[in-house]
Amino acid sequence: MPTEADDLFDLSNRVFIIAGGGGGLARPIIQALHRRGASLFLFDIDKTRLDAAAREVPSARTLVADITDEAGLAAVTAAATQAFGRVDGGINAAGLLPIGTASGMDLEVFRQCQEVNVTGAFMFSRAMAAAMEEGGGRIVHLASVSSYVANPEYAAYASSKGGLRQLIRVLGREWAARGITVNGIGPALTETDLTRDYLADANFRRNAISVIPMGRLGEPEDIVGATLMLLAPAGAFITGQVICVDGGRTLV
């Protein structure tokens, strides 16, 4: 017999679209949603990564698409609606992480970081809101502790995630009356394909761990619980927030 706790975190028969669905942070979220009976539509700009994610969850539908392409996003929401009948939420796990000195960074790299991490997040949010317009729904962005803390050589990334944090706050307020919640998860530095090359440098890894009070890097599985809460009935009255899952990084 279902318990009250089951009801709070029940995601069965919900339909979620996941941007950056082939990435390392998205994969454990996808698997957790699948185990809880959700229907999933994944998209990513990288077909190889997307195909690998789909092999892990064969029932998921997929499409190669770019989060910064409005026509591509429209194709994603149309395909998801056609496949499953509706859209209940979206998870944005797409992002870029350029690290380098402010004086030495190529301006195009800076601009591309803003384009994906902020403009792409805005476009994704707007596409999800349009797809969910009648019944409300949930939007969750993977943000970062870098929207709070200031690390040297993070000018592009931290400014983009700071922009994303404020975007989440504004959209959360603007769309609350429509029954759409907009929130973010702020992980500490986590070892994925996006960070692995940086973490291969022993000094970079040591310094990254030294500022996390719990004494370790994040793991992709760390963010699953908070993400599920924001998508489930348990998170119905939470909007405009970035929940940091960071081992205490933002306390330093």
DSSP 25-46: THHHHHHHHHHTT-EEEEEES-
pLDDT at 43 over 60: yes
Does 73 score more than 80 pLDDT?
yes
* Total-model pTM: 0.96
The pLDDT of residue 126 is 98
198 noted as active-site residue: no
Alpha-carbon dihedral sign for residues 221, 51, 60, 42: positive
Dist. CA 122–CA 171, nearest whole Å: 9
Q: Which amino acid is at 240?
A: G
**Mean pLDDT computed over every residue of the chain:** 96
pLDDT computed for residue 5 by the predictor: 63
Q: Which fold has domain 4-251?
A: Rossmann fold (3.40.50)
Cα separation, 12 vs 37, in Å, equals 4
In this predicted structure, what is the pLDDT of residue 1?
45
The one catalytic residue among 148, 154, 157, 198: 157
Q: Binning pLDDT at 50, 70 and 90, where does residue 48 land? A: very high
List, for residues 196-241, the tens digit of each pLDDT value: 999 999 999 999 999 999 999 999 999 999 999 999 999 999 999 9
**Domain extents in the chain:** 4-251
Q: pLDDT at position 220, please? A: 97
